[in-house]
Amino acid sequence: MFVQVCLYFYCKCLWRCLKFVVRKLTGRCELQRICYNTKPGAARTMKIEASLKGSKSKRLQTSVSVHPDAIEKTIDDIMELKRINPDINPQLGVSLQACLLQIVGYRNLVAEVEKLRREPYDSENPQHEEMLLKLWKCLKPSSPLKARISKQWCEIGFQGDDPKTDFRGMGLLGLYNLVYFAEWDTEVAQQVLCDSLQPKYSYSFAIVGINITDLAYNLLVSGALKTHFYNVAPEAPTLTHFQQTFCYLMHEFHKFWVEEDPMDIMEFNRVREKFHKQILKQLQNPEMALCPHFAASESLINI
């Protein structure tokens, strides 16, 4: 343990000495070198984030968690601390601002998603009930719901006659994602639902949607989705970006399920884990952007 600690501090000191030498040779600090030598996107933003977090300066370390309204002032502080003349290096401030908007935006998105996940479905809340009924109308427009408590809910993949019990794991986040998918990718959502009812592919659409919400949530919280969001969101990633990503994952999982051709629903966990690993592998590529190819995500393609 002692040797490992000594090795850690040795490497840390060696790295800082190397950075000092490189700055003297190039006349540029690490932030400048990253911005000038790395193209915009996840590669640049993630390097900037790592540089700021690993700085010995507390001001730089805390710059990744400032309020969005304080980003411009934070950029000024960074330029002053690094003794960079903004008149000589105007593009640097612009590049740093874009990176910080993404970094801070991602942190705020995690907080927003977590808040939705922790909020339980409340059947006494009119807004919650309205969203649930909207889900039915989007998926089954030609089949009116006969009663709020009904076995009909099983037709769209809930487990019983009252869907509220199925949202316990992901809270309102699961409902938000399902409604977004059904409302903005209606044709695709209805097709996936139709396929899921076929004996050959049989699975519970709504339950799988809540499960894929859990998968998307874990990708977000672990930081794996930074690659995607930093490549597709020119500024701060939003809840809409997260929901579009859910739509993509839902569609891709359905195709993956069909390709895997499982014996029955008992193989769900195996297929899900294999799908999860495939997505993680894709996101390890710093140039990766999960590229949705359906209506709700056209805005991502055009960014």
Please tell me whether residues 257 and 134 are part of one structural domain: yes
202 falls within a domain: yes
CB under 8 Å, gap of 24 or more: what pairs does 274-277 form?
275/215, 276/215
Q: How far apart are CA 243 and CA 77, in angstroms?
A: 35
Domain ends where: 76, 97, 117?
117
| Structural domain contains residue 14 | no
Task: Examine the domain organization and report whether 63 and 200 are in the same domain.
Answer: no
Q: Distance between CA 177 and CA 173 in Å, rounded? A: 6
Q: How many other β-carbons are positioned within 10 Å of the β-carbon of residue 29?
A: 19
- With respect to residue 144, please indicate whether it lies within any of the assigned structural domains: yes
Please count the other Cβ atoms lying within 10 Å of the Cβ belonging to residue 225: 24
Same domain as 101, residue 222: no
- Kindly state the tokens that stand for 301: 């393609």
Does 104 share its domain with 163? no
User: Does residue 41 share a domain with residue 153?
Assistant: no
69, 95, 117: which is the final residue of a domain? Answer: 117
Residue 123, classified by CB atoms within 10 Å of its CB into exposed (0-12), middle (13-18) or buried (19+), is middle
Q: What pLDDT sits at residue 16?
A: 52
Asked if the structure places residue 213 within a domain, the reply is yes
Contact 78, 96 (CB under 8 A): yes
Q: Does 12 fall in a domain?
A: no
Residue 300's pLDDT is 40
Residue that terminates a domain, selected from 87, 117, 147: 117
The rounded percent of the chain whose pLDDT value lies above 70 is 87
Cβ atoms of 181 and 189 within 8 Å: the answer is yes
The pLDDT of residue 50: 95
128 in the same domain as 250: yes
Q: What number of other Cβ atoms are within 10 A of residue 238's Cβ?
A: 15
Are 258 and 198 in a shared domain?
yes
The parts of the chain modelled with pLDDT lower than 50 are 10-11, 14-15, 17-27, 293-303
Asked if residue 16 is part of any domain, the answer here is: no
Q: How much is the pLDDT for 301?
A: 39
Same domain, yes or no: 139 and 196: yes
Residues 165 and 74 in one domain: no
Return the pLDDT at 89: 80
Residues 88 and 173 in one domain: no
- The number of folded domains in the chain is 2
Q: Rounded CA gap, 75 and 180, in Å?
A: 36
Both ends of the chain: CA-CA distance in Å?
Answer: 48
Tell me, yes or no, whether 90 and 163 share the same domain.
no
Angle at 48 (CA atoms; ends 214, 107), nearest 5 degrees: 30
What distance in Å separates the CA atoms of residue 290 and residue 192, rounded to the nearest whole number?
A: 19
Residue 91 lies inside a defined structural domain of this protein? yes
In a domain, 281, yes or no: yes
Where in the sequence is the domain holding 67, given as residue range(s)? 27-117
Query: From the CB of residue 222, how many other CB atoms can be counted at a distance below 10 Å?
Result: 11
